[in-house]
C-alpha cells in the first residue's frame, strides 16, 4: 500500500502515547503513517462527563473518520459508546494493558491504610460506588481532568488519594507512583478498561485488513467482547456504574485435557440514600468461542438480581 495512513487521536498525553504504540505497530508493516490530532468536546469542557453527553471523547474522532480526514481512529475502548456507528467498523483491538484500577495515595498508603475521612478523588460513578461499598468511611470527592491534573491533587495535598486506570498510568510512564493496584474483588474495572479500539471506514477494506492482521489481538478481543456484551445487554452506556472483567483461564474438559475458557465477573453498583450502596454482582464461565453469549447471559443474571432498577435512574 503506497498511501499514507492518517491515524486520528485526541491530543491528551495519554491519547498520544497510546496512538504512538499503534502507529509503531502499523509502521512495522512497512506502511507510512501520519498522526492527526482531533480536539473533542470532552477536552474543551470541564463539566462533569455525565453532563456533557454520550461519547464526549469519541464522537468527534468518528465524525472526522466519516469525513475522510483520517483513516483510523484510536479510541480508549471503555470510552466508546456501545452502539455501533453507521459506516464504521471496529477493525482491530490491540493487546490489552493491565485492566485493573490503581490507587495513588500520599505517603505510599494503601486503601486499607487510609484513615476514615480520607479524601479520595474519582470522577466515575462506578469507582465511587465500589469505593463506598468497601465501608472504609472514606470521603469520595468527584474530580475531573487528565491524569497529570488528577495526580497533582495528591501531590498538592488537596486529596489523600485518587483512583485511576493502571493502564493509563502505564502508558504515560507513571506506574511507579501507584501505591496499590486494586484487586478486582474490591474494584471491578470498567468494561474494556485498558484496551484500545481501532475504527476505520467500513468501505476501506485495505485498512480494515491491515489493522486486523497487524494489530488485532485475539485474547484481548475475546475478553472485551464478553465485557462489552454485558454492558450493552444492560442497556447501560460507557459512563454507567457497571464493572466487568473477563479473564481467559485454563480449565479441564471431560477427558481431562486442558482447555481455555472465559471467566467473566460483572457488577452494577450505585450510591443509595443515607450513604449506602446498592450493588449486585455475578460471575460465570463459558467456552472461549462464547464471549458474546456469556456477556449477555451474565447481564440477564444481573438484571434478575435487580440491576435494571439500580441503573434505571442513573441513566
Ligand atoms: N475515561 C477516561 C479514560 N479513558 C481511558 C483511560 C485510561 C486507559 C484505559 O482504561 O484504557 C482513562 C483514564 C482513567 O480511567 O484513569
> What's the pLDDT tens digit per position in 8-20?
999 999 999 999 9
Lowest-confidence range among 34-38, 159-163, 214-218, 232-236?
232-236
pLDDT, residue 50, reads: 57
Q: Which residue has the higher pLDDT, 3 or 105?
A: 105
Separation of CA 76 and ligand 1 centre (Å):
7
All three cell numbers of 2, joined, read: 503506497
Atom of ligand 1 nearest to the CA of 171: 8
Q: What is the pLDDT of residues 135-155, one digit of tens each?
A: 999 999 999 899 999 999 999
Whether residue 79 has its Cβ less than 6 Å from ligand 1: yes
- The residue-averaged pLDDT of 88-101 equals 98
Beta bridge partner(s), residue 162: 104, 121
Q: Where are the beta strands (DSSP E) in the chain?
A: 4-9, 32-37, 72-76, 88-92, 101-105, 119-122, 139-142, 161-165, 180-181, 196-201, 242-252, 258-271, 277-287
Q: Whose CA is nearest to atom 9 of ligand 1?
A: 194
Report residue 46's pLDDT band, with 50, 70 and 90 as the boundaries: low
CA distance 70 to 37: 10
Report residue 133's pLDDT band, with 50, 70 and 90 as the boundaries: very high
Separation of CA 272 and ligand 1 centre (Å):
25
Closest to 195 in 3D by CA, of 244, 126, 264: 244
Whether residue 58 has its Cβ less than 6 Å from ligand 1: no
Report residue 314's pLDDT band, with 50, 70 and 90 as the boundaries: very low
pLDDT, residue 69, reads: 96
State which H helix or E strand residue 16 sits in.
helix 13-27
ipTM over 0.90: yes
**101 catalytic residue (yes or no):** no
- The residue-averaged pLDDT of 35-51 equals 72
pLDDT, residue 272, reads: 80
pLDDT, residue 42, reads: 67
Q: Whose CA is nearest to atom 5 of ligand 1?
A: 76
SS3 call for 160: coil
Q: What is the pLDDT of residues 257-286, one digit of tens each?
A: 999 999 999 999 998 877 789 999 999 999
- Catalytic residue, from 79, 101, 160, 204: name it: 79
Whether residue 295 has its Cβ less than 6 Å from ligand 1: no
CA distance 242 to 166: 18
Pick the CATH number of 101-181 from 3.40.50.720, 3.30.1960.10, 3.40.190.10, 1.10.260.40: 3.40.190.10
Which residues contact residue 45 at a Cβ distance below 8 angstroms, ignoring those fewer than 6 apart? 52, 56
205-214 and 13-27 helices, crossing angle to 10°: 90
* Mean of the per-residue pLDDT values of the chain: 93
Q: Is the pLDDT of residue 214 over 50?
A: yes
Pick the CATH number of 4-95+195-216 from 3.30.300.30, 3.40.190.10, 3.90.198.10, 3.40.50.261: 3.40.190.10
Domain 101-181 and domain 223-314, same fold? Reply is no
The domain ranges of the chain are: 4-95+195-216, 101-181, 223-314
SS3 call for 292: helix
CA–chain centroid gap for 205, Å, is 27
Whether residue 162 has its Cβ less than 6 Å from ligand 1: no
Separation of CA 192 and ligand 1 centre (Å):
10
Atom of ligand 1 nearest to the CA of 196: 11
Separation of CA 252 and ligand 1 centre (Å):
35
> Model pTM?
0.93
CATH code of 223-314, in short, is: 3.30.160.40
- The residue-averaged pLDDT of 16-28 equals 96
* Best of 12, 76, 170 for a ligand 1 pocket test (most atoms within 8 Å of beta carbon): 76
Whether residue 12 has its Cβ less than 6 Å from ligand 1: no
Q: Whose CA is nearest to atom 11 of ligand 1?
A: 194
Q: Which residue has the higher pLDDT, 274 or 162?
A: 162
Whether residue 168 has its Cβ less than 6 Å from ligand 1: yes
- The residue-averaged pLDDT of 238-263 equals 93
Amino acid at each position: 500500500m503506497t498511501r499514507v495512513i492518517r491515524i486520528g487521536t485526541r491530543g491528551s498525553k495519554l491519547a498520544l502515547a497510546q496512538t504512538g504504540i499503534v502507529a509503531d505497530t502499523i509502521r512495522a508493516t512497512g506502511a507510512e503513517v501520519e498522526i492527526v490530532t482531533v480536539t473533542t468536546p470532552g477536552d474543551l469542557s470541564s463539566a462533569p462527563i455525565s453532563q456533557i453527553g454520550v461519547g464526549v471523547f469519541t464522537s468527534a474522532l468518528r465524525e472526522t473518520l466519516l469525513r475522510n480526514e483520517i483513516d483510523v481512529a484510536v479510541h480508549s475502548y471503555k470510552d466508546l459508546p456501545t452502539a455501533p456507528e453507521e459506516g464504521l467498523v471496529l477493525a482491530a483491538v490491540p493487546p490489552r494493558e493491565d485492566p485493573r484500577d490503581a490507587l495513588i495515595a500520599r505517603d505510599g498508603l494503601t486503601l486499607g491504610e487510609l484513615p476514615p475521612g480520607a479524601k479520595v478523588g474519582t470522577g466515575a460513578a462506578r469507582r465511587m460506588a465500589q469505593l463506598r461499598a468497601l465501608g472504609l468511611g472514606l470521603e469520595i470527592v468527584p474530580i475531573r481532568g487528565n491524569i497529570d491534573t488528577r495526580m497533582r491533587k495528591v501531590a498538592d495535598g488537596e486529596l489523600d488519594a485518587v483512583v485511576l486506570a493502571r493502564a493509563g498510568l502505564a502508558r504515560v510512564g507513571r506506574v511507579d507512583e501507584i501505591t496499590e493496584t486494586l484487586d478486582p474483588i474490591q474494584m471491578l474495572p470498567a468494561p474494556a478498561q485498558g484496551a484500545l479500539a481501532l475504527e476505520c471506514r467500513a468501505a476501506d477494506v485495505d485498512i480494515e485488513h491491515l489493522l486486523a492482521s497487524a494489530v488485532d489481538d485475539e485474547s484481548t478481543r475475546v475478553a472485551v467482547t464478553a465485557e462489552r456484551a454485558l454492558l450493552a445487554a444492560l442497556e447501560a452506556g460507557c459512563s454507567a456504574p457497571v464493572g466487568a472483567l473477563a479473564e481467559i483461564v485454563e480449565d479441564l474438559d471431560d477427558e481431562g485435557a486442558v482447555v481455555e475458557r472465559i471467566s467473566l465477573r460483572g457488577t452494577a453498583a450505585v450510591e443509595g440514600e443515607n450513604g449506602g450502596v446498592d450493588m449486585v454482582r455475578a460471575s460465570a464461565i463459558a467456552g472461549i468461542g462464547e464471549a458474546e453469549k456469556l456477556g449477555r447471559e451474565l447481564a440477564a443474571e444481573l438484571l434478575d438480581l435487580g440491576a435494571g432498577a439500580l441503573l434505571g435512574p442513573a441513566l
